[in-house]
Structures are given as C-alpha cells and as structure tokens.
Amino acid sequence: MVCLGNICRSPLAEGILKNKIRERELDWTVDSAGTGFWHIGEPPDPRSVSTARKYGLDISQQRARQIQASDLERYDLILAMDSSNYQDILRLADNGQQKDKVEMILNYVDPGSNRGVPDPYWNDDGFDQVYRMLEEACEKVIERHG
C-alpha cells in the first residue's frame, strides 16, 4: 500500500487489509510506505488513527517509511493510492516483472478507471470517505487474490 507520505491513506489501507486477511486466516504479508521521505518514522496522522479506531482497527503502532526499490522484489503486489504515486513507484522498477506488480488500488473496484484515492490530509472530512473507498477496494483485493 503506497501513498505520498505514508501517514493518511496507506496506513488505513494496511490496517484494513491486515484485518481482512486475519479474519480469513490468509498467510499474507502486508505493509505500507510513502513515495516521499517527509514523515519517516512518524505514526499515522491522528485523523487516520481516529478513523481506523471508529471502525474497530488500531493502526497507531504503524510507522511511516519510504518505499524502496527492494520492495518491488519483496512483494507480489504494490498498490498505489493515486497516479502520481503510481508513476513514482514505476520509476523504481528495474524490469517489466516489477512494473507488472504495481497497480492502482481503485482499479479493483472500477477496473481500468485509474481513479485515485483522494488525499484527505487537507480535508478533515475526507477520512471517512477514504476509509470506505479503501475498505471496498481491499475486499476486492481479497476476492481476486485470496
């Protein structure tokens, strides 16, 4: 799960997907990262933590990190929150196989739309909307790959 700073969208997506795989007892590893370096080591935005808690998830122990080229080898699937992050991730790829692992998360809900998850950082009211979008997308990820 990759967004810009790894403090709003991708921590929510990580928490949602981890919860779903735990419920289904799947043997998956899920992590999140940001394409930027500004928040490395910081916890998720308090509004993301609060939103997750509202839906029964605790993401408060997560810490922001920046995506590395090695993540494209380590993980089978890299889900970008928007087209800017998608392009930044592709620049890290060394080959076509790595590029093929990168997808826009909302394409799981609306295939081929290439819609981005809006960044709620500048909109306090956007966190619930983002949560619902990611919850639906993560359910589709499970349906396709589970």
List active site positions.
3, 9, 119
Closest CA to 72 of 52, 48, 106, 101: 101
Burial letters 21-49, b for 16+ CB under 10 A, else e: beeeeeebebbbbbbbeebeeebbbebbb
Cα Rg, the chain, nearest whole Å: 14
CB 37 within 8 A of CB 66: yes
Task: Please tell me the distance from the alpha carbon of residue 85 to that of residue 67, in angstroms, as a whole number.
Answer: 10
Q: The sheet that has 102-104: what strands, in order across it?
A: 33-34, 2-3, 78-80, 102-104
Task: Please tell me the distance from the alpha carbon of residue 96 to that of residue 103, in angstroms, as a whole number.
Answer: 13
Q: Six-digit token pair at 112?
A: 């081929």
